[in-house]
Amino acid sequence: MIESELIFGLKNSDRQALSVIYDKYYQDLYFYLLKFYSQEDLVQNAIHDMFIDLWNSRKSIGEIKSLKAYLLVSSRRKLFKLIKDIQLNSDQNFSYEDELTDIPFQYSHEDFLIEKEIDDNRRIKILEAINQLPSRQKEAVYLRYYEKLSVEEISLVQGINYQSVLNNLQRAYEVLRANPLIVNFLKAVLTALIVH
Amino acid sequence: MPPSVIYNMKKSRSIFGDKQGGPEIWNSIKFAKRKLPEELIASQKNRLMEGILDDKKSTPIIPIQPRKTIWIWYAAASIVLLMTVGSFLLLKENNFETSYGQIATVHLPDGTSVTLNGNSSISYSPISWRFFNNRNVSLTGEAFFDVAKKEVDGKRIKFQVLTRNLQVEVLGTRFNVIDREGNESVVLEEGKVQLMIPDVQIPLQMVPGDYVGYDASKKRMLQMVVLTEEYTSWKDKYILLDNKTLGELAQIITTVYGKKVVFQNDEDKKIPLEGKVPSDEIRILIAALRLATKLEISLENDVVTVSNSSKTITI
C-alpha cells in the first residue's frame, strides 16, 4: 500500500491501515527515540501513546506531507512529554515552564558496525568523537543516512528550514573529516573491505 | 584503498539533496541495521489495538500537573471519571453478525427489522437508544432495513445507518445498504432517505428507485435509477441476474459466501446473465449457473472454478 492510501485509510477509521502503518514504522520510531532516552519501556509507552493519539485524532488530521516524518515528530514529542512528567514528579524544583526541547540526541555503540579488528578502547573513542557533534547535527545525520529521509523530511522532523539541515549535515561532515581518529577508522574499514 | 578516496570527497552541497547519495564518510561509518524481536512488536501492537477497540467516544487523557491549584485537578479528575464511565456505558454495544452464506433477520427495539446478508454485521448502543432517543446503527457488509416510524412527544425520531463513510438518515422506509471492500452503496425501495457523503456539504435526498454508490478510494460518487429488486432480492433468497455479468456475480459469491472464484478464461467474466437463481444454497446456485452458462463450474474446497474445457466443441 502506498503512503497516501495508508493516510486515507487511517482518516477513514480503517484499522487495517493503522496496523500496516504500525508494522511499517514501529522499529524506526523505536530506535529513533532510543537516541534521546535509553529506557526502553518509556520509549514503548511514548510510541503507544502517540499511536493512540493518532487514532483518536484521525478525523481531524490535516495534510501529511511525509508520514514517516510526521510519526517521528509526534512520537518524539510524546517521549519528551513523558520525560517531562517524570521529572516533574521526581524533582519538585524543576520548573515546568522549561520547554523540554533540548534532550540531546546520542548514539550508542550498538548503532554502528565497527570492525572487530578495532579494539574496544578505540571503538569508544570513535563513538565519543561522533557524539561530540551538536545534537541537531547528529540527528540530521542519523535521519539522512540511517532512516534515509530526504532533506525536506528532515526539515519537517527537526522543524528547521531546508538550508539549515544542509548546513548541519555539511558541518557534521567537515568536523568528522577533520578528526584523525575517524579518518583512520575509515581507512581501516575501507582496507578491511578490500582485503576481504 | 588509497587515502585520497577519503580526502577527495566532493564538498558540493548538491550531494545532500540526492536521496541515494551522500558523502562517503557516512556510508563508511556503518550504521548497524538494528532489529527488534517480532514478539515485542506484536505484543505492543496488540496493546494498541486493544486500546483503540472502544474508541468511539474515548476521552482524551488530561495530564495532571501538580503545580496548578489542586481542586481544579480533583474536579477534572472527577469529570474524566464521569466521562469514562459514561462513555463505557455508551460504548456497550449490541452486536449481530452473520457468517458466510447465512441470512438472518434482527428485530430492533423500535420495531425496525434488519435483514443481514451473509458475512455482515450491525451494532448499536442500547443505552443511547434508550436515553438519548437516537436510533443509530453501524453496519458492515450488507443489510436490508425496514424502518418503523417512531415519534416522541409528537417529534419524529430519525433512524441512522452508519457505514465507513456514509451516513444514511431516514424516518421510516425500506432500503438496502452495502458496506463492503471497495463498495459502499444505498438503494432506496420505499420512502425517503437523506444521505451524508464525505466532502459533500449538502445531504443528498434519495427517492425510491435511487441507487447511490460511493467509492472512498477514488472519492467518487455515482447516482442512478435502478430496478431495486436487483439489489434487494437476496433477502428473499434469490438473486436477480438481469444486467449482471458472470464476473459481477463472482464478486457476490466471494463476499457473501466466502468462496474464491477462479476463472480459467478471463473472457468468461463478461458473459451477461439473466433470470433468477436461488441464493440460499450455494450448490444450487452453482448448478443453476452451470445450466445457464453451459460452462464447467465446480466447487471444491471453498474455491469455485469456472472453465469451459470439456464442453467446448470444435469442428
Annotated domain spans of chain A: 3-90, 109-195
B203 vs chain A: nearest CA distance in angstroms? 19
User: B144 pLDDT band (50/70/90 cuts)?
Assistant: very high
Q: Is A107 on the interface with B (CB under 8 A)?
A: no
pLDDT of residue B17: 36
The tens digit of pLDDT for each residue in B43-60 reads 888 888 887 765 444 444
The per-residue pLDDT for B53 is 67
Section A181-188 average pLDDT: 70
Average pLDDT over every residue of B173-195:
88
Check CB contact of A114 with chain B, cutoff 8 Å: yes
Which of B9, B15, B26, B43 is the best substitution to test chain A (most A C-beta atoms within 10 A)? Answer: B26
Rounded to the nearest 5 degrees, what angle is found at the Cα of A161, between the Cα atoms of A158 and A163? 120
Instruction: Quickly state the pLDDT bin for A189 (edges 50, 70, 90).
Output: low
Model confidence at B223, in pLDDT bands (50, 70, 90)? confident
Residue B24 grid coordinates: 562517503
**Cβ(B282)–Cβ(B259) below 8 Å:** yes
* Measured distance CA(B93)–CA(B178) in Å, rounded: 21
B94-230: CATH number: 2.60.120.1440
Phi (first) and psi of residue A64, to 5 degrees:
-110, 115
Chain A residues lying within 8 Å of B17, measured CB to CB: 151, 166
ipTM of the complex: 0.81
Q: What average pLDDT score do residues B250-267 get?
A: 87
**Among B164, B173, B180, B215, CA closest to B194:** B173
Minimum distance, in Å, between the CA of residue A52 and any CA atom of chain B: 7
Residue A16 has pLDDT above 70, yes or no: yes
Check CB contact under 8 Å for B25 and A173. yes
The torsion of the CA quartet B210, B214, B219, B221, rounded to 10 degrees, works out to -10
Ramachandran assignment for B209, one of left (phi > 0), alpha (psi -120 to 50 degrees), beta (any other): left
| Residue B14 distance to chain A (closest CA, Å) | 9
Instruction: Assign domain A109-195 one CATH number from 1.20.58.220, 1.10.10.10, 3.40.50.300, 3.40.50.1220.
Output: 1.10.10.10
Most confident of A115-124, B160-169, B221-230: B160-169
Give residue B19's pLDDT.
38
Question: Does A65 contact chain B (CB < 8 Å)?
Answer: no
Dihedral (Cα; B109, B110, B115, B119), 10-degree rounding? -50
User: Residue type at B180?
Assistant: R
- Candidates B6, B48, B164; nearest CB to A51: B48
Q: Residue B178 above 80 pLDDT? A: yes
pLDDT for residue B12: 32
Fold of B237-307: Phage tail protein beta-alpha-beta fold (3.55.50)
Q: Bigger pLDDT: B4 or A194?
A: A194
Tell me the chain B residues in contact with residue A192 when contact means C-beta distances shorter than 8 Å: none
Cβ-based neighbours of B132, under 8 Å, separated by 6 or more: none
Lowest average pLDDT, out of A132-136, B31-35, B213-217, goes to B31-35
Type of residue at B104: A
What 3-state DSSP class applies to A183?
A: helix
CA-based nearest distance A5→chain B, Å: 8
- The reported pLDDT for the residue numbered B89 is 62
Looking at residue B70, its pLDDT comes to 65
* Nearest-angstrom CA–CA distance, B180 and A175: 58
Report chain B residues whose CB lies below 8 A from the CB of A130.
Answer: 29
pLDDT score at A64? 87
Give the per-residue pLDDT at A102.
67
3-state secondary structure of A103: coil
* Highest CATH level, class, for A3-90: mainly alpha
Of the candidates B3, B16, B47, the beta carbon closest to that of A187 is on: B3
Which residues in A lie closer than 8 A to residue B216 (C-beta atoms)?
A: 8, 12
In percent, how much of chain B has pLDDT > 90? 11
Note the pLDDT tens digit of each residue in B201-221: 778 888 888 888 888 887 788
A187 touches chain B (CB under 8 A): yes
Residue from the list B6, B35, B45 with its beta carbon closest to the beta carbon of A186: B6
Chain-chain contact of A48 with B44 (C-beta, under 8 angstroms): yes
Q: Are B36 and A193 in contact (CB < 8 Å)?
A: no
Average pLDDT over residues A113-127: 67
Contact state of B1 with A144 under an 8 Å Cβ cutoff: no
Residue B23: which residues within 8 A CB-CB, separation 6 or more?
A173, B9, B10, B15
Helices A15-34 & B38-51 angle (0-180, nearest 10): 130
